[in-house]
Chain A
């Protein structure tokens, strides 16, 4: 019985640990993306905007039905 409880506790701890890891990872990725978006926004020049629009349009033109 006590072994069963111990096993269950281990499984629970493992699960909680994985959940916590996933949450920390998601938060870190979220922060990194926010930072990346901020930096890109700050450094974007009209020329780069134009280039990106041209690139998007070229990809759209290559898209197949």
Chain B
């Protein structure tokens, strides 16, 4: 999909509008809308299709907002994006806003992937070791991916630590092909 060159500016506007204290909740709301846009072509159509008038769009967003119990600020922001013809970049704006918020809080989001759910029992150790690596406070997100077979794969920003069994098999495969 074509990137919107203003997405960072929109993300900043969103964070300024909601304020740093309310940002975590507001970002969750944006993530919900991003997922909805990806899932529902109808909702996406309402936002991006020029056939619909601003009023129709506003009504659709308002309805979705009240059924999902979204804050008026988030609803207003989505309407604003739509008016700017940038609603298709909602997902991109949401991702940028998350990154900006993390930057503001000196937070790094780490995605911890394991083949089986691990709950939060390793949270302390993971956070401490990742903080040492990236010199930031760490926010963890857990993803279960059975294809890893075993071990842990962690992604923090552009850094990836692959301790998974499938990762080791891939290394072995590369060595065998090269050798």
Contacts and interface: CB of A to CB of B under 8 A. Distances in A.
A and B, one complex? yes
Interface of A: 25-26, 29-30, 32-33, 36-37, 40-41, 44, 46, 48-49, 52-53, 55-57, 59-61, 63, 65
A53 B151 contact: yes
Contacts of B150: 40, 44, 48-49, 52-53
A53 B126 CA distance: 11
B115 A60 contact: no
A40 B165 CA distance: 9
B116 interface: yes
Interface of B: 114-116, 118, 122, 125-126, 128-130, 132-133, 135, 146, 149-152, 154, 161, 163-166, 169-170, 172-173, 176-177
A40 B115 CA distance: 12
B173 A33 contact: yes
Contacts of A56: 151-152, 163-164
Nearest to A44: B150
B129 A33 contact: no
Contacts of A55: 151, 163
Contacts of A61: 125, 128-129
Given A32-B176, A49-B116, A53-B151, 17 more contacts: A25-B176, A29-B176, A33-B173, A37-B165, A40-B149, A40-B165, A44-B149, A53-B118, A53-B122, A55-B151, A55-B163, A56-B152, A57-B152, A60-B133, A60-B154, A61-B129, A63-B129
16 contacts: A29-B177, A40-B150, A44-B115, A44-B149, A49-B150, A53-B114, A56-B151, A56-B163, A56-B164, A57-B125, A57-B152, A60-B130, A60-B133, A63-B129, A63-B133, A65-B132
Given A25-B177, A30-B173, A33-B169, A57 B116 contact: no
